[in-house]
Amino acid sequence: MTSTTRSAVLTFGCISLFTSAVALAHDGGDATGTYTGDGSGHLITDGSGNCVRIGTWNKDGKQAECDADMVKAAEPAPAKPVAESAPPPAPAPIPVPQVITKSVSLGSGALFAVNSSNLSASGNAQLTQLANDLKALKSVEAVQITGHTDSTGSAAYNQSLSEKRANAVRDFLAAQGVDSSAMTTAGMGESQPVSSNKTRDGRAQNR
């Protein structure tokens, strides 16, 4: 009688233990090397629903079913979208330099004596002012110096005299600091009169 009762108790206890183990199995995942599992390899939780860790558990063995907070914290934050940069503004157009052409007429009577290519005192004063005006400009591209005469004398003589007068003006301006490489000279002789050569005033204008 006693033997039979003891056997029944042992059998009941075995069945009870097995049932308890199945009830605590975690259906969400399988056991790993850091968590305890049942005979089927499923995770086992304690009375509070926590996975049962083995003694050598460490953070490297965490898994989502048991350590959801830790796994979530370890996930990298989503990358912020890179804002598209606005295209660089178009470069401002390079301004085209304005070229100004200015003509200055100085009468031969104010610059030279009659039949001479030597500058007079009055001519020096006028050309000094002209040199200062040229140097005040930001840049000087070209200075064209043209000499003229009236029709008195031969055409060949007048041509030579007009060239000498143009060269005399160039040399004076260069001595005042005007860039000589920007200056060119030419003599027109008596070929381009602006007035009649029949009167004294007309001949003075043509020089």
Cα gap 67→6, rounded to integer Å: 43
Look at strands 25-30 and 42-44 and give their pairing. Answer: antiparallel
In which element (H, E) is residue 29 found? strand 25-30
In which element (H, E) is residue 145 found? strand 143-147
Tens-place pLDDT, residues 114-173 = 788 888 888 899 999 999 999 998 888 899 999 988 888 899 999 999 999 999 999 999
Here the tokens at position 78 are 């989503």
Q: Which of 34, 32, 35 is nearest to 44 (CA)?
A: 35
What's the predicted TM-score (pTM) here? 0.51
Whether residue 170 contacts residue 180, with contact meaning beta carbons closer than 8 Å, is answered with yes
In which element (H, E) is residue 128 found? helix 121-136
pLDDT at 131: 93
Length of the chain: 207
Look at strands 143-147 and 183-187 and give their pairing. Answer: parallel
When pLDDT is cut at 50, 70 and 90, the band that residue 41 belongs to is low
Could you tell me if residue 79 is left (phi over 0), alpha (psi between -120 and 50 degrees) or otherwise beta? beta
Tens-place pLDDT, residues 75-90 = 566 777 777 778 888 8
The Cα angle at residue 202 between residues 198 and 206, in degrees rounded to 5: 110
